[in-house]
Amino acid sequence: MPPLRTALLQSSGTPGSVAGSLDLLDDAARRAAADGARLLICPEMFLTGYAIGGDVPRLAEAADGPAARAVAGIAARHGIAVHYGYPERDGETLYNAAQLIGPDGTSLANYRKTHLFGEFEERWFTPGDRPVVQAELDGIRVGLLICYDVEFPENVRAHALAGTDLLLVPTALMHPFPFVAESLVPVRAFENQLYVAYVNRTGTEDAFEFVGLSCLAAPDGTVRTRAGRGEELVIGEVDPGLLATSRAGNPYLRDRRPGLYGSLV
């Protein structure tokens, strides 16, 4: 099975303007597809902006709403899967969500952030209750988390046990926490023997200063591609061959002793 060429869009979109963010997404999808990518990953809350405060209820949409249909059109037009963050409305309930659209424009998975970070998110969003959401893309089992979720080892281990090969983590990582992108994410990839695509915002919004440093971390603990601090589109490969070799040489999942871990529940 050939590698899955994967593009990471480090961008804060156009905060407050879904139309502006969709224009940026269309251009990024075009460029990524021209470079052979089959998957484009955007940051947390990409479509609307992160620090949108009281605009959350106004900008939130259903998972099959107008913005989702626009993203589906972009994916189908360029023949590339698109994973993006957005505020989801389900009736009167709001979620910090991320959706994966296939290269034919169909929805493959929708995930609601299970671990909310800080006063802003806790005020506006309800935490999701599905810890493992997956989809298949070009023979790769793809899993979804959002930002703070990846900082809980239980979340990533649950994905590893469920067979996730590539974990998509759109994020809004801010100052003073660059060590999450620099150190924690590659460790998560190694200890769970999977790829982690960690895709961040950049620049400032309100009181938040985003640190960039998006990366694709491999199961051998190396970082296959890394963005800097500004707007950037970087591309790396998810190699099934490396997954198999690394898993054979690092049998963490096989050597677990779950009977000893009951106190963690």
Catalytic residue numbers?
Answer: 44, 113, 147
Q: What is the maximal distance between C-alpha atoms in the chain?
A: 51
For residues 102 and 39, the answer to whether their CB atoms sit within 8 Å is no
* CA pair distance 133, 262, nearest whole angstrom: 24
For residues 80 and 29, the answer to whether their CB atoms sit within 8 Å is yes
Q: Which contiguous run of DSSP H or E holds residue 248?
A: helix 240-249
Question: Around 95, how many Cα atoms within 13 Å sit in the side-chain half-sphere?
Answer: 21
Question: Around 202, how many Cα atoms within 13 Å sit in the side-chain half-sphere?
Answer: 18
Six-digit token pair at 147?
């930002």
For residues 5 and 36, the answer to whether their CB atoms sit within 8 Å is yes
